[in-house]
Structure formats: C-alpha cells, structure tokens
Amino acid sequence: MTTMTIQDHQQAGPLAELNPASLPQSPAWLQPMREQALARFNKLGLPTTRDEDWRFTNVAPIRDALLELSPNGQAVTLSQRDADTCAVPGVTGSRLVFVNGRFNASLSSIKPLPQGVRVLSLAEAIETEQALLKTHLGKLADFEDQPFTALNAALADDGVVVCVPRGKQVDEPIYLLNITTADKPLLINPRNLIVVEESAAVTVIEDYVSLNGEGVYLNNAVTEVVVGDNAHATHYMLDRESTEAFNISSLYSRQGRDSRFESHTALLGGSIVRNNVTSVLDGEGAWSQLNGLYVIRGDQTADNHMRVVHAKPHGDSRQFYKGIMNDRAKGVFRGRIVVDPDAQKTDAKQSNQNLLLSPDAGVNTDPQLEIFADDVKCTHGATIGQLNEEQVFYLRSRGVPYDTARAMIIYAFASETIDRMGCEPIRRLLKGQLLDRLPAGEVLKKIL
Amino acid sequence: MLEIKNLHARIEDNEILKGLDLTINPGEVHSIMGPNGSGKSTLAQVLAGREDYEVTEGSITYNGKDLLDLSPDERAGEGVFMAFQYPVEIPGVTNTQFLHAAINAQRKYRGQDEIDAIEFLKLAKQKRQMMKIDDSLLSRSVNEGFSGGEKKRHEIYQMAMLEPKLAILDETDSGLDIDALRIVADGVNSLRGSDRSFVVITHYQRLLSYVVPDFIHVLYKGKIVRSGGKELALELEEKGYAWIEEQIEAAAV
C-alpha cells in the first residue's frame, strides 16, 4: 500500500489531486465508477520509486510536466494526409483515428464487418451500448492499487469499443491510430474495451504516434480484452511516441476455456514508457502469449510489467520479451507468473533477453513465480548481455565489415520477436525502423 | 603467397607461438600437425585475425601485403578463409543472408559489382549439390541446431562459395564420421588448384589419406620442428607424437 507524503502533492496540474469537477459528464450508471476511481487516485497519488511496482522507474518527470486535461469537443485540425503519414503503411481493415484522444470520424473509415460486429467510439458507446459497458467496462482493469488505471477510469471519455459476437470472425485488423499533435502538455486517457464472444476472433492494433515526432504529453491508456470460450483475440501495442512524451499503457485480458490470446508489443518511442500487461487465464486449456520488444536509446526508459495469472487447469502461457538498449537508455522487465491452487497442469514459460549496446545503458530484469499448485511446469529465464563478439568475428572472418556484422546480429536478435507477429505490415515497419537505427542498416536492407 | 617469419604470439600472458617460420607458394597444400597445445589453432586464429591473440614479434606477408595490418574482414576480402574448428551459431541470421552478405562484402572490397539474389541462389545451389547439403539449410539460422558434421560441411560449403586464395582448415576433420570426412575431403580436393593454397591443420593422420598434402610440418611448443613430405604423416601415425617430443627434448639436453 502506498503512503503519500506531503511532497508528492506539491506539484500543480491534474496529477497532483483530481478535482471532482474535472470528471467528464457521465450517465448515472457510469458515475459511481468515476467517483470511486477519483477517490482512489487521490488516495494513492502518483507512485514513487518507494513503491515496489515502480522501483526502477521514476515518474517524477511526468508529474512535473504540468499536464493539462485534453479539452472536450475542441476540434483539432489534422489533414487526411497527416493521418495517413502517421499510419503503419499497408494495414488494411477498419481504421479509427484519434487526435489528442478524441475520435475523429472524418479521418476514420470503418469497413463492412460481419453481421453483429460493433466497432464504435467509447463516447458513442456510452450512449448506445449501455448493457455491454455495464457488463464489462472496468471489470478487468482493477484500480485498487494502480494509480494510472484509476486516473484513466476517472477521466477516460473516449477510445474504442469492439464487440465481436459469438462465432463471428473479423478477418482484417481493427486499427486504432492514436495521433498526438500536442502543442500543449496534454493528459490523454484512451480507454478501449474489446469483447470477443465464444468462438469469435479479432485483431486490434493500438498504435501511438506523435505528429512530426515531437511533443510532451502523457497517453495513459487502458484496454480491456474479454476473450470468450474458444475465442481468439490478438492485440498489438505500438509505441512510436515522441521521445519527449510519456506513455503508460495497461492491457488487461481475461480468457475463457480453450481460448487464445496474443499480445504483441513494440516500444520504440517515448521518454518514459510503461507497458503493463495482465493476462488472466480463467478457463481450462487457455493459451496466452505475451510477445514484446523494446528498442530504446538516448535517455529513454521502457518499463515492462507482466502479470500472468493461471486460474484454471491446463493453461499454457508464454512470455517472450526482448530489449535492446543503447546510449543511456534503461529497460525494465518484471514478469510475474501466478499459478492458483486450482490451476494444475499449467505450462508457463517466461523469457526476457536483453542486449546492451553501450556501457551506460542498463536493464533491470526480475522474473517472479508464485506457484500454489503442485503439478505444473513453469520456467523462466533472463539474460543480459553485450553483443556476442564470437558471432561478430565469425561474420567478419567471412568478409562482413564490423558495423554490418554488428547490425546483422542485432537485427537477428530482434527479428525473433518481430517474426512472431502475424501482421505483415507491422513486421515490415518494425524491421525497417530497426534497420534505420543501425549504423549499417542501409547495407542490410539490400540482403534481408 | 604466404610468408611467416619468426612469428611470436600470445593470448593474455601465455606465449603460444615462439618463432614460427612457414612459406607457402600458390597451389600448395601444407598440413600442420602436432600434439594438443602445440599452437596449431593459435596459428589459424592469428592468420584469420582474431584480436584475442597478440603478435609480439615476427611478420606475416601475404601476397606482398602485411597481413597483420588488415582487419579480419579485409583479410577475407583479400582471399583468406578459415574453416572454424568450432563454427559459431548465429540464431536469427539465415545461411542465405549470411553468405549473400559475405559474398557481396568481399566483392565490394575488391571493387566488383555485388550479385543479386537470383545469381546468388544459382551459385548456392550448385555448391550445395557439391557438398551434399540439403536445400532446407538455406532458410535455417547459421549453424544453429547443426550436428558437428553438418557444421564442418557447412564450413567447406562456405569455402566453395567464397573461393578463397588461402584456405586454412582448423581441425575440420575432428569428430567427423568417415562419410562426412569423405564429403569434406572431396569438397577440399575439388577446390584445389594452381592459384589456391591450403593450410590443413589436423591432429590426426586420417584426413591426409583423403587430402594428400604437398608438405607436412610438425608443430611443437610453438615452433615447426620437422617438415617433410606426405610420408611424414605415416611415420607420425606409426610412432606417435611422443617420438617427436623425445627427439626434440633429447636434442635440447
């Protein structure tokens, strides 16, 4: 439990203390959640490095950024061309564009979807999907000890609601393009709810990108994914924020029996980035894969917090996270696997591998197991290393120059993670961005 | 083509080569034999440019150039190739990417045009057949999950692709069964030619029945102590390295 000190409240801005007047207008059924979240946030305050969960990441720069709430209803002009420039090239399917956290219908296009599939903005869903939201909104994203989730629950008034009814499959991904144009230090709280009913399937891409690659702001996103029995949900989180920006993303999933959940994450941008993934395997035979890559440089921080909970027997979970840190960048990986007493025959695997490219780069990796069942298979492993000089020499001995040899090995390291991602345009984008950052990337582009 | 004079080399504080002399002319196959710890692999590593080894004295001249002045990749560009005793696994880099990068890097170094994917694949197919290497190897990661024999065959396949001027085989025969040894030997023999020289480093005489050298040198305590023709191998096989050791130690007393 967090104990607040006077000092933590000294800063102004919305993160010091939420005023009930800042809560968005909500229907009566939603108001209690907002008020509880607000009270909770004000009780918890922003975390400090004295909090176990935030030991390695100091969020003081976020608090000190004097963030302003994203103004409601105020139109931000953004051309279709700008929006297209920001998008991942080649991603087909429905695209929902958010500018500074507000759904922009004119920049968005929703393709024909199978009958009964709903894809709409949260603002609209609050009006029209009361039953769905009452059942699911906020049910996974517990904010009891999560200040940023509480902040989002109190303030979020836009985002996306996707509901895929029983047996329906959405073939093309649903692409949520979040563009921030910030000329002001905005606090944006995107909130998404994805409900995939029994035997249904969908892929949702959540992409955060800064217009012109600049701006100080915080995207504090929460996404809940409800995966029904035998359903298959795939989620992508792409962080391509400006290197001054902050991004705190919390993904919560709960799976039914025999279901599959895939989470793919790529963190490239942002000054301080926190990626929380909570995956609950709440049905027998569920399968969950959390696959992620963080590639950071300069003074970037990328902090990954995984929590995988096996609540029922015969669940399989896989966590594969890799990090590449250059300059003074700092990576964090904290992965916890919890196996409940009932979750016999669990097969849980966790791997975190890190590559440090500079003597000043660093990473903290901390795998944790909490196992309360006796017939389970759980493995975890973490590695931190410099580039393998044996491999570099082998390539050089065949004529490959030093920079190219290094680049090939770094590229190969990251490719393993990227190649798990089923979405080809995303793979292409990530590989391209990776090569752009490597000294001999241009040479490699010709042969890879 | 290669002239090594009074070569002294050490790793950390350990002096391993202590005044080695060796001259190799174009087209010749020289075998370096010797007991464990005599410096055979060190010689291979120094020729390939491994930076862990420090040359403290002596010179290596290769085609008129100071080899020790060149980086490992420049040496490869100049036509030096070493088949590794323990080939390195590089997960995530496919054999195709690896060899295509290597060939083009060498061509670039020599001021030649790079070859495109189609030309590369054509060449690779031809050489693969020669080394009896399965097509599935192309998309596999470099040496990853290869058996010992596959790794060694893959080294010779790389040699066939890169067509070096000076090939150093560092105990390529160690740990091979007789079928794999034959394939490796056939690969080496098919590459023999008047403009290509070989340094075949081996602990055992067996390989030399298949790859018949022009000269055999015995390396002992960092120096070449005996040189001769192919019959020297048979003598060594019969009498063992102890025979050489005794002779040397006796002469030193």
Which 428-447 residues of chain A touch chain B by CB within 8 A? 443-444, 446-447
**Domains held by chain A: number:** 2
B39: DSSP letter: S
Residue A130 maps to a domain: yes
A416 touches chain B (CB under 8 A): yes
To test the contact with chain B by mutation, choose from A397, A409, A419, A443 the residue with the greatest count of B C-beta atoms within 10 A, namely: A397
Asked whether residue A383 is domain-assigned, the answer is no
Find the domain containing A405 and state its range: 388-448
Q: Are residues A110 and A244 in the same domain?
A: yes
CB A245, CB A219: distance < 8 Å: yes
In A, minimum Cα distance to B161 occurs at: A398
Residues of chain A contacting residue B106, judged by C-beta atoms under 8 Å apart: 398-399
* Among A242, A261, A283, residue at a domain's last position: A283
Cross-chain CB nearest to B100 (options A396, A405, A447): A447
Q: What would the pLDDT profile of B28-73 be if each residue is shown by its tens digit?
A: 999 999 988 899 999 999 999 999 999 999 999 999 999 999 999 9
Nearest CB to B105 within list A401, A411, A412:
A401
In a shared domain, residues A80 and A205: yes
In a domain, A328, yes or no: no
Within this chain, do residues A247 and A392 fall inside the same structural domain, yes or no? no
State ipTM: 0.95
Q: Could you tell me how many CB contacts below 8 A there are between chain A and chain B?
A: 88
Contact yes or no for A397 and B114 at CB 8 A: no
Residue A292 lies in a domain: no
- Name the residue of chain B whose CA is nearest to A394's CA: B88
CA distance A412 to chain B (A): 4
pLDDT truncated to tens, each residue of chain A (448 aa)?
A: 343 333 344 445 667 788 888 898 899 999 999 999 999 999 999 999 999 999 999 999 998 887 887 666 556 778 999 999 999 999 999 999 999 999 999 999 999 999 999 999 999 999 999 999 999 999 999 999 999 999 999 999 999 999 999 999 999 999 999 999 977 889 999 999 999 999 999 999 999 999 987 889 999 999 999 999 999 999 999 999 999 999 999 999 999 999 999 999 999 999 999 999 999 999 999 999 999 999 999 999 999 999 999 999 999 999 999 999 999 999 999 999 999 999 999 999 999 999 999 999 999 999 999 999 999 999 999 999 999 999 999 999 999 999 999 999 999 999 999 999 999 999 999 999 999 988 888 878 877 7
Please list every residue in chain A whose beta carbon sits closer than 8 Å to the beta carbon of residue B138: none
As a whole number of angstroms, the distance between CA A37 and CA A222 comes to 13
Which residue, among B208, B106, B112, B192, has the nearest Cα to B156 in the 3D structure?
Answer: B192
Q: Find the length of chain A.
A: 448
Interface of B with A (CB under 8 A): 48-51, 71-73, 75-77, 81-82, 84, 87-93, 97-106, 109, 114, 141-142, 158, 162
Q: Say if A320 is an interface residue toward chain B (CB within 8 Å).
A: no
> What is the per-residue pLDDT across B179-198, written as a single tens digit (0 to 9) for each?
889 988 998 999 999 999 99
Question: How far is residue A267's CA from residue A318's CA, in Å, rounded to a whole number?
Answer: 19
Q: What is the rounded CA–CA span in Å between residue B83 and residue B90?
A: 16
Residue corresponding to tokens 């399965």: B134
Contact B97 A408 (CB under 8 A): yes
Residue A362 in any domain: the answer is: no
The answer to whether residues A351 and A319 touch, using CB atoms and an 8 Å cutoff, is: yes
pTM value is 0.89
For an interface test with A, the pick among B46, B67, B89, B90 (most A C-beta atoms closer than 10 Å) comes out as: B90
| Shortest Cα distance, chain A CAs vs residue B229, angstroms | 30
CB contact under 8 A, A401 and B93: no
- Give A412's contacts in chain B (Cβ within 8 Å): 90-93, 141
Examine the fold and report which residue of A260, A283, A306 is the final residue of a domain before the chain moves on: A283
DSSP B119: H
Q: Is residue A403 part of a domain?
A: yes
Residues in chain A with CB shorter than 8 Å from the CB of B165 are none
Of A283, A304, A323, the domain-final residue: A283
Task: Please indicate if any CB of chain B lies within 8 Å of the CB of A415.
Answer: yes
Instruction: Kindly determine whether residue A395 and residue B101, on different chains, have CB atoms separated by under 8 Å.
Output: yes
A258 and A393, same structural domain?
Answer: no
Q: What is the pLDDT of residue B246?
A: 84
Q: Are residues A273 and A413 in the same domain?
A: no
Identify all chain B residues contacting A402, using CB atoms and an 8 Å cutoff: 71, 73
- B117: closest chain A residue by CA: A447
Q: Which residues of B touch A390 (CB under 8 A)?
A: 88
The chain B residue lying nearest A448, using CA atoms, is B97
Whether A400 is in a domain gets the answer yes
Q: Chain A: give the shortest CA distance to residue B234, in Å.
A: 33
Query: Is there a domain that residue A358 lies in?
Result: no
3-state secondary structure of B174: coil
* Same domain membership, residue A279 and residue A394: no
**Could you tell me if A404 and A276 lie in one domain?**
no
Residue to substitute from A395, A406, A445, interface B, most B β-carbons within 10 A: A395
